[in-house]
């Protein structure tokens, strides 16, 4: 597959197309996504480092990308997806508005996982959407996948093959809060979008799952009306006034 950029460039056009498997026939089953503590921790660390520190240069609040492994099973009309591992791709080209994968990275990493953890299979990829403030996230609906995200997902032959035609795409949208309030675990915006706070940052996780329709065509669940539910369980508490990156390191609103 030719490397494709995922990012913010067409985010205002969300949910506007029905070609290339985006939209159309809905899957005949539901999906329940769970994420192991260490995998969620790695996603959060990757999102925060890219947001706060960038790639070591002047640019901060850049996107980043990683790959996920785990297990799936289907019972009583529900496909259960459990993410066990996540590894950041350090060779991806990263920018505040997009991230471009290195096509060799998932193949290299997958060969290692096959040898060390043969009980796991590649599930899909993870990337981030950084925003300056809560108001910007709300205005842009930044917690949703862009059309570019969906098209890259549908076109990723390697991910579809390795996942057994049920690939997973996760996006973590991140912004800085102006005021840190108590929060008591994750909250759902929709079944497929869950938000949680850590220190002065808020993260939204959105999930899309790929599937084959009756004609064998690749499709994926959408931002709205999704049969995917993210279940993070009763954890991820945050306390009023808590900070993880000091004070005076940017602005936001909350």
- In this structure, what CATH number is given to the domain that contains residue 206? 3.40.140.10
Identify the DSSP state of 13.
G
Distance, CA of 10 to CA of 124 (rounded, Å): 22
Q: Is residue 250 in some structural domain?
A: no
Domain annotation covers residue 204: yes
- Listed range (42-51, 79-88, 169-178, 228-237) with the worst mean pLDDT: 228-237
Q: Is 254 part of any domain?
A: no
Residues in contact with 130: Cβ distance below 8 Å, sequence separation at least 6, in sequence order: 47, 50, 51, 61, 62, 63, 96, 173, 174, 175
Residue 222 belongs to a domain: yes
In a domain? residue 243:
no
The answer to whether the beta carbons of residues 128 and 116 sit under 8 Å apart is: no
CB-CB contact of 71 with 83 (8 Å): no
135 pLDDT exceeds 90?
Answer: yes
Flag whether 252 is in a domain: no
Chain segment 203-245, per-residue pLDDT in tens: 999 999 999 999 999 999 999 999 999 999 766 667 777 778 8
pLDDT score of 56: 73
Taken in order 20, 25, 29, 30, the sign of the CA dihedral is positive
Residue 248 lies in a domain: no
Asked whether residue 35 is assigned to any structural domain, the reply reads: yes
- pLDDT grade, residue 182 (50/70/90)? confident
pLDDT at residue 90, rounded to an integer: 94
Indicate the burial class of 72 (C-beta count within 10 angstroms; 0-12, 13-18, 19 or more).
middle
pLDDT in tens, 136-151: 999 999 999 999 999 9
Task: Give mean pLDDT, residues 119-134.
Answer: 97
Contacts of 160 (CB under 8 A, 6+ apart): 167, 210, 218
Name the pTM for this structure: 0.85
pLDDT for residue 10: 36
Domain count, the chain: 1
Domain region containing 198: 6-238
pLDDT band at residue 181 under the 50/70/90 scheme: confident
């Amino acid at each position: 597959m030719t490397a494709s950029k995922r990012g913010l460039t067409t985010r205002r056009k969300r949910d506007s197309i029905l070609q290339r498997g985006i939209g159309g026939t809905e899957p005949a089953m539901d999906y329940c996504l769970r994420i192991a503590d260490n995998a969620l921790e790695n996603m959060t660390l990757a999102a925060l480092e890219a947001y706060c520190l960038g790639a070591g240069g002047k640019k901060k609040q850049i996107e980043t990308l990683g790959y996920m492994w785990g297990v799936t099973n289907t019972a009583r009309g529900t496909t259960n997806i459990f993410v066990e591992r996540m590894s950041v791709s350090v060779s991806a080209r990263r920018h505040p508005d997009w991230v471009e994968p290195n096509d060799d990275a998932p193949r290299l990493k997958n060969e290692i996982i096959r040898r060390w953890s043969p009980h796991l299979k590649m599930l899909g990829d993870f990337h981030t959407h950084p925003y300056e403030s809560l108001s910007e996230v709300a205005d842009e609906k930044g917690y949703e996948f862009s059309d570019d995200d969906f098209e890259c997902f549908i076109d990723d032959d390697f991910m579809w093959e390795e996942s057994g035609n049920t690939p997973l795409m996760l996006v973590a949208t991140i912004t800085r809060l102006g005021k840190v309030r108590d929060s008591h675990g994750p909250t759902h915006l929709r079944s497929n979008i869950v938000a949680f706070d850590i220190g002065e940052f808020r993260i939204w996780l959105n999930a899309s799952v790929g599937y084959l329709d009756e004609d064998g065509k690749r499709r994926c669940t959408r931002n709205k009306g999704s049969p995917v539910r993210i279940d993070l369980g009763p954890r991820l508490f945050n306390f009023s006034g808590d900070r993880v990156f000091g004070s005076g390191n940017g602005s936001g609103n909350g």
